[in-house]
Amino acid sequence: MSVLPKIKLWKPILAFVLFGAVSLWLLNTLTTGNPLWFFPIQPSYAPNRIVIHNFGEEIELRPGDLAFEKIAAGVDQSLSRFSNTALIDVGLGDSTLADYQTKALVVEVYYPSNIRFNLPIRMERVNQLLFPIVGRHQDTKYVFIGYNGEWLVGALQVYSNQPLLDALRELGYLQN
């Protein structure tokens, strides 16, 4: 009487699971252009200019200004965690941008080179961000992305913009 060989099922199952995980990672890496798309820790970037549109008044801040450092720190902390895993299908039209210049409080942040966050979203050629604080899109925690003076279609959504709100409140731009 012959003995049937034992089949070890765990090896093919493990190989299948590993193949699936590597395939998913590779597909998302090729799609996003970022091999760390899954990593929950976000990189930190240093802006070279911040523009605040405060109901018709434009304030430009540069490194070395006390207000610049506080707002840059608030922006960096706000960008440490995101709520969305895809771009939100919203853009900035001409009327919204005009309102942001005169009837709202928004913060524009400019970077000297391209930035990228660890998200399953392709972020190529992004070097400016816009945070609506008061006015259209307030309370949404949206962050609009742009490149060289042009705003791109789609927005990110931060988990909390409270650090930025606190910095603006401390500097007197935001009441309450």
In this prediction, residue 102 carries a pLDDT of 94
CA distance 31 to 29: 5
pLDDT 10s digits, 99-127 = 999 999 999 999 999 999 988 887 789 99
| Domain extent for 132 | 49-170
Asked whether the beta carbons of 32 and 122 are under 8 A apart, the reply is yes
CA distance 17 to 8: 15
Can you tell me which residue has the tokens 């009487």?
1
In this prediction, residue 127 carries a pLDDT of 96
Q: What are phi and psi of 142, to 5 degrees?
A: -75, 150
In this prediction, residue 69 carries a pLDDT of 97
Q: Is 154 left (phi over 0), alpha (psi -120 to 50) or beta?
A: left
Residue 38, domain member (yes or no): no
- pLDDT over 80 at 59, yes or no: yes
Residue 79, domain member (yes or no): yes
pTM: 0.85
Residue 176, domain member (yes or no): no
Give the SS3 label for residue 37: coil
Residue 122, domain member (yes or no): yes
In this prediction, residue 1 carries a pLDDT of 62
Structural domain count of the chain: 1
